[in-house]
Structure 1
Amino acid sequence: MKLSIILAPYDSGLYHAGCGQGPDAILAGGLVDELVLRGHDVIVEDIGEVGDAQKREIATGFAVCRAVATKVDLARDDERFPIVFTGNCLTAAGAVAGDAADSIIWIDQHGDLNTPETSTYGFLDGMALATTLGLCWRPMTSAIPGFQAIDPSRCMLVDARDLDPDEKRLLDTLPIIRTQCADALDTLGKLKAAGAVRAHLHLDLDVLDPDVLQVNRYTKSGGPNPDQLQQLVCGLARSIPIAGVTISAYDPAFDAKGEVPPVVGQLLGDLLAAIERT
């Protein structure tokens, strides 16, 4: 398979800081070698430094989305499957725009469904899914090339076990499909029934059980182990066309033994094999 690996190494508007160090660390852990050994044609591109000179989080966060949307769209023009590695989940809004997905599978221990009106901490990344669903930041998303908000009925939220009270209340009012990792494949029919044809797969690595693999500072107990996550994403890839992938939120400062990169390489290799078999 022809692949385009797109690096967006930002965390809260900062280049190569915190989780923004994750994309390079995963590459340094042998990702490209793993994929080439599996027979893939791989190119790697970094969006570079974007945003304004003041490095404002909101301005830079959406500049990252615009740059990613452009890179993903170019990858599709070259018939390459786009895989985005990023620090922040908000980047998925750009990837969805670039790969023209009509639905999204959001695998994350967090809901990322706050808005500026509900967020207690003002954390932009905590609004990432809400943004992708068109619930907030509409003037900013309108400037992302090709962006079309995903209808909440075509969103499947997997294993969101750490939700703020306002996120829980919002989920009670929206047709988002909620499920756990163990039940997600059985729930996928609801996504298809809502009209999903081309799904974007967003994977926040902190969905993993931190007692097995620690990926950042935000983790909460519970979640799948790597084998369970691998079975899930491969099952999804065999069941619905995947338009593109984002993988986010790995901070190598919390992985002293460097255990995460080889797990990601194995998972991604298996995911792509499942896509090829469909």
Structure 2
Amino acid sequence: MKLSLILAPYDSGYRNAGCGQGPDAIVTGGLVEELTLHGHDVVTQDIGEVGATPGREIATGFAVATAVAQKAGEAVKDGRFPIVLAGNCLTTVGAIAGDGADSIVWADQHGDLNTPETTTSGFLDGMALSAALGQCWQAMAAAVPGFAALDPSRCLLVDARDLDATEKEILARLSILRAPCTDAPALAGKLAADGVLRTHLHLDLDVLDPDVLQANRYTWPGGPDPDRLQQAMTALAGQLPIVGVTVSAYDPAYDPQGDVPPVVGRLLVGVLETLEKKA
């Protein structure tokens, strides 16, 4: 398969800080070699310097999304499958704009469903899925080329186990599908039955059980181990028309042995192999 690896190494408005170090660490950890070994044609692109002022989280976050949308759109036109390696989850707003997704699987230990009116932390990434679903930051998101808000009924939220009270209320109000990782493939049929044509797969690596593998500082008990996550995502790929992937929120400072990059490689190989068999 022809692939485009798109690196967006930003975290909270800063380049190559915190989880912004993750994309390069995943590549350095052997991702390109792993994908090439399995027969894929890989092109790697960095979005470069974006945002006028470092540290302006909102402005830079949407500038990153815009750059990713452009790179992902170019990849699709080139016949390449876009894989975005991102520091922040908000970057997926750009990924779905670029690959034209009409549905999304959001695997994350968090709901990312707050809005500026409901957040108590002010953390922009805690609003990332809400932005993708058109629930907040509408003007900023609309400026991202190709962006169209996704219908909440076409969202499958996987293993969100660290939810605040407001997010639970939002989930009760919106028609988002929700399941733990092991049960997620059973709900994929509901998305497929809704006639979805293009599904984006978003993987925040803190979905993993931190007692097995810690990807960043935002840890919460529970979650799948790497094998179960791979099994679930591969099963989803067998049922849904996945057209792009985002892998986000890896901070190598919390992975001193470098265990996460090989896990990412194996997971992506499994998903891509399943997609190839369907083609």
Corresponding residue number in structure 2 for 1:11? 11
Same amino acid, percent of matched pairs: 66
2:167 corresponds to which letter in structure 1? E
1:17 corresponds to which letter in structure 2? A
Corresponding residue number in structure 2 for 1:257? 257
> Which secondary structure does the structure 1 equivalent of 2:7 belong to?
strand
Cα distance change on mapping 1:10 and 1:54 into 2, 3 Å: closer
Corresponding residue number in structure 2 for 1:52? 52
Could you tell me how far 1:53 is from its partner in structure 2? 2.7
Aligned partners of 2:108 and 2:204 also within 8 Å: yes
Corresponding residue number in structure 2 for 1:71? 71
1:164 corresponds to which letter in structure 2? D
Corresponding residue number in structure 1 for 2:34? 34
> Which secondary structure does the structure 2 equivalent of 1:277 belong to?
helix
Corresponding residue number in structure 2 for 1:199? 199
Corresponding residue number in structure 1 for 2:134? 134
Structure 1 CA distance for aligned equivalents of residues 182 and 100 of structure 2: 28
Asked if residue 81 in structure 1 is aligned to residue 81 in structure 2, the reply is: yes
Corresponding residue number in structure 1 for 2:227? 227
Structure 2 CA distance for aligned equivalents of residues 254 and 76 of structure 1: 33
Corresponding residue number in structure 2 for 1:236? 236
* Partner deviation per Cα, 1:220-249 (whole Å, 9 max, x = no partner): 010000000110111111111101000000
Aligned partners of 2:189 and 2:239 also within 8 Å: no
Could you tell me how far 1:132 is from its partner in structure 2? 0.1
Could you tell me how far 1:54 is from its partner in structure 2? 5.0
Q: How does 1:81-160 map to 2 (within 5 A)?
A: 81-160=81-160
Structure 2 CA distance for aligned equivalents of residues 121 and 103 of structure 1: 28
Corresponding residue number in structure 1 for 2:178? 178
* Partner deviation per Cα, 1:42-70 (whole Å, 9 max, x = no partner): 00000011011354110000000000000
2:70 corresponds to which letter in structure 1? T
2:258 corresponds to which letter in structure 1? G
> Which secondary structure does the structure 2 equivalent of 1:188 belong to?
helix
Could you tell me how far 1:194 is from its partner in structure 2? 2.8
1:146 corresponds to which letter in structure 2? G
Structure 1 CA distance for aligned equivalents of residues 175 and 256 of structure 2: 40
Corresponding residue number in structure 2 for 1:21? 21
> Which secondary structure does the structure 1 equivalent of 2:24 belong to?
helix
* Partner deviation per Cα, 1:144-172 (whole Å, 9 max, x = no partner): 00000000000000100000110000111
> Which secondary structure does the structure 1 equivalent of 2:104 belong to?
strand
> Aligned pair count?
278
* Partner deviation per Cα, 1:234-271 (whole Å, 9 max, x = no partner): 11111111010000000000001111111111111111
Structure 1 CA distance for aligned equivalents of residues 121 and 198 of structure 2: 33
Moved more, 107-116 or 262-271: 262-271
Structure 2 CA distance for aligned equivalents of residues 94 and 261 of structure 1: 23
Structure 2 CA distance for aligned equivalents of residues 54 and 26 of structure 1: 23
Structure 2 CA distance for aligned equivalents of residues 12 and 6 of structure 1: 18
Moved more, 259-268 or 80-89: 259-268
Structure 2 CA distance for aligned equivalents of residues 62 and 263 of structure 1: 28
Aligned partners of 1:154 and 1:195 also within 8 Å: no
* Partner deviation per Cα, 1:147-205 (whole Å, 9 max, x = no partner): 00000000000100000110000111000001111111111122123332211000000
Structure 1 CA distance for aligned equivalents of residues 53 and 87 of structure 2: 20
Superposition RMSD on alpha carbons, in Å?
A: 0.8
Where do 5+ consecutive residues of structure 1 fail to align? none
> Which secondary structure does the structure 1 equivalent of 2:6 belong to?
strand
